[in-house]
């Protein structure tokens, strides 16, 4: 078995909103500025945090999700990165032990030491008890050190260090400054392209991290090559099929691994903007991933030429696959959280409106004729359509009915975000017109 070694950190926390993304991005940027090749991964199905991590590291950020992709695929992705990287950083999801599977499961599988980022507002010596809990809750998991985020003063830092046991290293601190916080909205952080001063924020945090123990690379971890980590494909399933993928500020939730799967089956990918382009590129199929169409209603509504180009594509009998935000764009009308409405493409009958409450969250499996696609859902909108669903997702943790899937002519649309690598042949069928439940 082939093996590669590379220094690595797994950045986690006791819960969400402790600063994992800020620290991971700033740490990647600091080491990148030292001339190191840094590869960053994001644990879980998140689309948004990776945009910030990609900006900081200068490289595409892939998701490591034990349920969507499987253990072998996650191990192979990290092994591949270790071929070229000087440092690997993996940002966890939520708290270290939250979810099934959780960040700790991935850190333990990969053998990567955990760097715990802790927001210490309102805390002093109790940091030691919290760190002990993280370090000792699960045998075999290594919590190597703590970074205190939000330290108020030199005296505050002294008290924090007093409580920390000798077995857990103090790796430094960040001061309590509002400008270090990254802006958020209803689906999480604001994507990198929309944060005008993101680079300034990350440079400021990186400069501070450069004065901590994190300037030293962690010890190397050994990563093994995995045989048969991906489902077998011939490379010809989509040979010659041209797929146009929407990519702009309104539609950006596409896994890099999904695009790799399509290319690996022979597809020729091109990209277009429903916000700015007047027509589709020459294509056989269209992929409308999720995103934030509700934030761009006037531009989407006023781009009559693109809306007509998509309608002409479907009328010509060609295929189109849409996920979540892509689904909303296919409807007659979309209403944002302020009650403002915009006309969408009208390719599928129905309307959607944004809700202040979360309407869908969690893993679901979609059983298709060509395989079982593993998916997740995360949305705040409600869709009303007269179309009967052709299938439903199956929830991972309960038996209630999952997200609906609609098909009409060559269109397949759903709130589910599919991980194509979980069932490549089922994914291929979405773009060839042979997709059936």
pLDDT by residue (tens digit) across 412-421?
999 999 999 9
Separation CA 155–CA 7 (nearest Å): 33
pLDDT tens by residue, 232-288 = 788 899 999 999 999 999 999 999 999 999 999 999 999 999 999 999 999 999 999
End-to-end CA distance of the chain: 39
Q: Is the CATH number of domain 242-429 3.40.50.300?
A: no
Query: Do 3-224 and 242-429 come out as alike in CATH topology?
Result: yes
* Residues in a beta bridge with 5: 222
Mean pLDDT of 164-184: 80
- Average pLDDT (1-18) is 92
What ranges do the domains of the chain cover?
Answer: 3-224, 242-429
Is the model's pLDDT at 182 over the cut of 80? no
- The yes-or-no answer on residue 324 being catalytic is yes
Residues 315-329: tens digit of each pLDDT: 999 999 999 999 999
Instruction: Give the residue among 408, 404, 405, 410 at the shortest CA–CA distance from 430.
Output: 410
Rounded to the nearest integer, the mean pLDDT of the chain is 92
Instruction: pLDDT band for 397, please (50, 70, 90 cuts).
Output: confident
Please tell me which residue, 198 or 123, carries the higher pLDDT value: 123
pLDDT for 426: 96
**Which of 174-188, 347-361, 362-376, 378-392 is predicted least confidently?**
174-188
- Which of the residues 6, 102, 221, 324 is marked catalytic? 324
pLDDT digits (tens, 9 = 90+) for 74-115: 999 999 999 999 999 999 999 999 999 999 999 999 999 999
In degrees to the nearest 10, what's the CA dihedral of 146, 147, 148, 151?
150
According to the model, what pLDDT value does residue 192 have? 62
Q: For the domain covering 3-224, report its CATH number.
A: 3.40.50.300
Mean pLDDT of 356-379: 90
**Structure token pair of residue 153:** 């003063």
* Residue 300's pLDDT band (cuts 50, 70, 90): very high
Cα 161 to Cα 148, 193, 211, 236, distances in angstroms: 9, 37, 17, 58
Classify residue 215 by its DSSP letter.
Answer: G
At residue 88, the pLDDT reads 98
Pairwise CA distance, residues 432 & 375, whole Å: 20
């Amino acid at each position: 078995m082939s093996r590669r070694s590379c220094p690595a950190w797994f950045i986690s926390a006791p819960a969400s909103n402790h600063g994992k993304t800020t620290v991971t991005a700033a740490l990647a940027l600091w080491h990148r500025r030292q001339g190191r090749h840094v590869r960053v991964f994001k644990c879980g199905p998140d689309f948004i945090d990776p945009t910030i991590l990609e900006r900081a590291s200068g490289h595409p950020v892939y998701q490591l999700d034990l349920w969507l992709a499987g253990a072998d695929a996650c191990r192979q992705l990290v092994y591949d990165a270790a071929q070229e990287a000087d440092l690997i950083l993996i940002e966890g999801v939520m708290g270290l032990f939250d979810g099934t599977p959780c960040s700790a499961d991935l850190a333990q599988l990969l053998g990567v030491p955990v760097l715990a980022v802790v927001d210490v507002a309102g805390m002093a010596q109790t940091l030691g008890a919290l760190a002990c809990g993280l370090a000792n809750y699960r045998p075999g998991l290594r919590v190597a050190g703590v970074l205190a985020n939000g330290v108020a003063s030199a005296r505050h830092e002294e008290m924090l260090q007093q409580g920390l046991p000798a077995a857990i290293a103090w790796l430094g601190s960040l001061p309590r400054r509002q400008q270090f916080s990254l802006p958020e909205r209803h689906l999480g952080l604001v994507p990198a392209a929309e944060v005008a001063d993101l680079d300034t924020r990350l440079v400021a945090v990186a400069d501070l991290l450069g004065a901590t123990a994190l300037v030293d690379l962690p010890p190397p971890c050994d990563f093994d090559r995995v045989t048969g980590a991906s489902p077998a494909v011939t490379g010809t399933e989509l040979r010659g099929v041209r797929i146009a993928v929407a990519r702009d500020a309104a539609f950006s939730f596409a896994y890099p691994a999904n695009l790799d799967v399509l290319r690996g089956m022979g597809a020729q990918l091109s990209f277009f903007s429903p916000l700015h382009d007047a027509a589709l590129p020459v294509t056989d199929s269209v992929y409308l991933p999720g995103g934030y169409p509700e934030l761009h209603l006037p531009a989407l509504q006023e781009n009559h030429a693109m809306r007509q180009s998509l309608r002409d594509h479907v009328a010509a009998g060609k295929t189109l696959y849409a996920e979540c935000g892509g689904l909303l764009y296919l409807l007659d009308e979309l209403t944002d959280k302020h009650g403002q409405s915009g006309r969408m493409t009208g390719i599928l009958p129905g309307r959607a409106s944004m809700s202040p409450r979360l309407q869908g969250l969690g893993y679901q499996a979609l059983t298709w004729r060509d395989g079982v696609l593993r998916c997740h859902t995360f949305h705040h909108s409600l869709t009303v359509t007269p179309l009967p669903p052709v299938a439903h997702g199956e929830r991972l943790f309960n038996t209630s009915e999952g997200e609906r899937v609609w098909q009409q002519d060559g269109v397949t649309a759903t709130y589910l975000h599919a991980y194509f690598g979980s069932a490549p042949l089922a994914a291929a069928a979405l773009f060839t017109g042979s997709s059936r439940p």
